[in-house]
Amino acid sequence: MRFSENNNRIEPTLRYTAGDLLGSGTDDDPGKIRPGKDVSGASFYSFMTYSSKYLNTTQSEKDNTLKYLPFKWVSTQFLGINGYLENDKTYSASGYFLTRTRVRNFV
C-alpha cells in the first residue's frame, strides 16, 4: 500500500515482497504503522509488481492467473520516494515469506 504526494511515496507507505522460504524463517509481530503521520493531502494506492516466473509464462497462463483476482489491475507510473526504504518485518507460513519494507522520512 502506498501513500503519495507530489509524485513521491511518503511515510507510511508499505511494500511487501513475497518469496520461497529456504530453511527456517523469523516471524515478527504483525502490523504496526507509525502513528501520527499526516496523510490528509495524500492519495492511497495499492500496487503489484510481477516476478520473473510470472513474466516468463505465456499470455494465456498470465490471463488465467489474473482472472481469479477480485479486482482489475491497471498500469501506473513508478513514483519516487520522499525519504528512504527500510526493511522492518518478515512474516512466514507454509514455506513462503513476506518481507515488509516501509518508507521512512529523513527527519
* pTM more than 0.85: no
- The DSSP call for residue 39 is -
Domain count, the chain: 1
Closest CA to 15 of 99, 105, 83: 99
Locate 10 and state its grid cell: 511518503
Q: In this structure, are residues 30 and 91 in contact, taking their beta carbons and an 8 Å threshold?
A: yes
Cα gap 1→14, rounded to integer Å: 5
Predicted local distance difference test score (pLDDT) of residue 27: 65
Determine the structural domain holding residue 25 and report its residue range.
2-104
Q: How many CB atoms lie within 10 A of CB 89?
A: 18
Least confident of 5-14, 50-59, 79-88: 5-14
Average pLDDT over residues 8-19: 80
Residue 25 pLDDT class (50, 70, 90 cuts):
low
Residue 31 pLDDT class (50, 70, 90 cuts):
low
